[in-house]
Amino acid sequence: MDYAGSRKGEPPQNLPLAGTEQEDQISIIGKTNFRGTEKLFGIKIPDRALHIYSIGKTGTGKSTLLKQMIIDDICKGRGVAVADPHGDLINDVLEYIPENRVDDVVYFSPADREYPIGFNLFENVSPEYKNIVASGIVSVFKKIFGESWGPRLEYILRNVVLGLLDYPGATLLSVLKVLNDTKFRRGVVEKITDPVIRDFFINEYERYDQKFRTEAVAPIQNKVGQFLSSTIIRNIVGQKNSCINIRKIMDEKKILLIDLSIGKIGEDNSALLGSLMITKIQMSAMGRADIPKEKRVPFYLYVDEFQNFATDSFAVILSEARKYGLSLTVTNQYIAQMSENVANAIFGNVGTLITFRVGAKDAEFLNKEFVPVFEPSDLTNLSNYNIYLKMSIDGVTSAPFSAKTVLPEFKKTNIVEKIINQSRSKYSRPRDEVEKEIEESTAAPKLPEEVLGPKTDESQTPQKKAQETETREKDENIQTSTKPSNLPEELSNVREIEDYNLNKWYYLTRTGFKKVTGQKIDDETTATASNREE
């Protein structure tokens, strides 16, 4: 028993000990503390592929454990990614990065406003992964939307995302644009290869009446618009070309530090970017299916307070990541922070479970994992930096035992500024350059004169304007009252739709929008209006 009243547990006989195992084949976790015997131990690399989960109250030592493991990985030349919603963990890790790994660091800090790093989840997605990427993006927004989420919203957003994944140069900014900008939407529809998604836009979305469309898309516009109104978010997700290649980072064993400090960028922005980034890491890992299993270099993803970023698709990462060489180490404070789906995935898939001091409710929940060695009262009385754990050893979960975390035994290098500057020079772009690109890509489209009509003198009287409009319509032989009659049989399915942005009418065929003049369709003119007032 320690001074707090929690008991100690005997470690397994086959525990991987430092000095008895090849140094590069284990990751140090801590020291045993049974009957006064302290032995430094770790977890074998193959067992890390079964993932690690730790839980404990604030201030009990979770960050110390993560810091030790991360720095150990970095100093041993391994590839790692760290997602930190507070920034303190990453700040500590930066101080220990050795000189020989400076060039491997990719420092992603949204708070670095003057040098944003482009991150585009819509960029160059292979056809076989489009549905997976779409599900990931939709899951992110489902988490962010909370109670305002509904089946209709999910249906529309999923189709929009799938449509944009076929459109070159699409970004997260395009989600709003495809909903609001008719001309842009037509361009997207022309690029869609999936007939079901194409049919959604042509035969459903375009037929929504104004009231229904407004009600249906308002939640998307409000929530997505809320994020994109932030220059921090917009300057990152609005860049067409990503500045970082996650797959390359994984394959080349680089160091990706994702500083998502809530205090600097806000809680919602932190959650959005973190969720999108983890989704991208998942996609990149699954992309390794194109290389033999033995060539999939192990890569280690650490997520502190992971409930901030855990969507329903997180369960897929836990169940599928192992085969692609991605190993997770995640922490949080209490079980209720997770959705039931994510909690089930955690306790059903992780090979190593570590608990620091927890509350009574969590102690009762965890009791089934640690009986008969420990009781709930032991879990609630653990002193800081002390742990109970069940560890995967050669693929088999050990009996519960006790240990304590250790501070990193590595020396601080104090080259933080050098690390950040080299990362900034290679992976970011100047803010003014980024904002100019975004401004050009989001500018209102310049519509042809036949849609907008020629410029008129604002000093003209309404009567003169009306006369000129009537004359122009007659000269252009454009229908102004009813759908053309006596259309050829092959055009019998042509129908009319209203464009609420332009307040004009179009005629739509399966091959696109066509201009109707007189009794025939002008096949050489697309996306033009017949200028019929409602």
What is the domain partition of the chain in residue ranges?
23-97+255-262+284-421, 127-233, 453-526
Is residue 434 pLDDT above 50, yes or no? yes
pLDDT category, 126, cuts 50, 70, 90? confident
Question: What pLDDT sits at residue 64?
Answer: 93
Instruction: Calculate the alpha carbon distances from 228 to 222, 223, 441 in Å.
Output: 10, 9, 14
Please say whether the beta carbons of 263 and 86 come within 8 A: yes
**Percent of residues, the chain, with pLDDT higher than 70:** 82
Strands 352-355 and 105-108: unpaired
pLDDT category, 460, cuts 50, 70, 90? low
Question: What pLDDT sits at residue 482?
Answer: 44
Q: Is residue 156 classed as helix, strand or coil in its secondary structure? A: helix
Q: Which CATH architecture has domain 23-97+255-262+284-421?
A: 3-Layer(aba) Sandwich (3.40)
Bond from prior residue into 98 cis (ω within 30 degrees of 0): no
The pair of three-digit structure tokens given for residue 210, joined into one six-digit string: 């104004």
Q: From 255, 249, 245, select the one nearest 76 (Cα to Cα).
A: 255
Is residue 428 pLDDT above 90, yes or no? yes
Question: What pLDDT sits at residue 466?
Answer: 54
Q: Which residue has the higher pLDDT, 68 or 485?
A: 68
pLDDT category, 370, cuts 50, 70, 90? very high
For 18, which DSSP code?
B
Q: H/E element holding 516?
A: strand 512-517
Question: What pLDDT sits at residue 5?
Answer: 67
Instruction: Calculate the alpha carbon distances from 65 to 59, 239, 412, 458 in Å.
Output: 12, 36, 17, 71
CA distance linking residue 428 with residue 361, whole number of Å: 45
Of the listed ranges 215-229, 377-391, 432-446, the least confidently predicted one is: 432-446
Interacting residues of 280 by C-beta distance below 8 A, sequence separation 6+: 119, 121, 246
Question: What pLDDT sits at residue 518?
Answer: 43
pLDDT (mean) for 242-259: 96
Question: What pLDDT sits at residue 450?
Answer: 45
Question: What pLDDT sits at residue 462?
Answer: 52
Question: What pLDDT sits at residue 480?
Answer: 38
CA distance linking residue 154 with residue 138, whole number of Å: 7
Q: What confidence tens digit (pLDDT) does each residue in 297-342 have?
A: 999 999 999 999 988 777 788 888 889 999 999 999 999 999 888 8
pLDDT category, 467, cuts 50, 70, 90? low
Is residue 415 pLDDT above 60, yes or no? yes
CA distance linking residue 177 with residue 172, whole number of Å: 9
Q: From 335, 316, 319, 285, select the one nearest 139 (Cα to Cα).
A: 316
Instruction: Calculate the alpha carbon distances from 476 to 494, 507, 517 in Å.
Output: 21, 17, 8
pLDDT category, 400, cuts 50, 70, 90? very high
Is residue 131 pLDDT above 80, yes or no? yes
CA distance linking residue 399 with residue 420, whole number of Å: 43
Q: From 263, 245, 262, select the one nearest 254 (Cα to Cα).
A: 245
Question: What pLDDT sits at residue 315?
Answer: 78
pLDDT (mean) for 420-441: 94
Count Cβ neighbours within 10 Å for each residue of 260-275 and write b for 16 or more, e otherwise. Answer: bbbebbbeebbbbbbb
- Strand positions, DSSP E, 333-395: 352-355, 386-390, 392-393
Is residue 115 pLDDT above 80, yes or no? yes
Is residue 509 pLDDT above 70, yes or no? no
Q: Is residue 46 classed as helix, strand or coil in its secondary structure? A: helix
Please say whether the beta carbons of 221 and 156 come within 8 A: no
Is residue 102 pLDDT above 50, yes or no? yes
Question: What pLDDT sits at residue 29?
Answer: 95
**Angle of CA points 516, 520, 525, to nearest 5°:** 50
Is residue 515 pLDDT above 50, yes or no? no
Q: Which residues pair with 384 in a beta bridge?
A: none
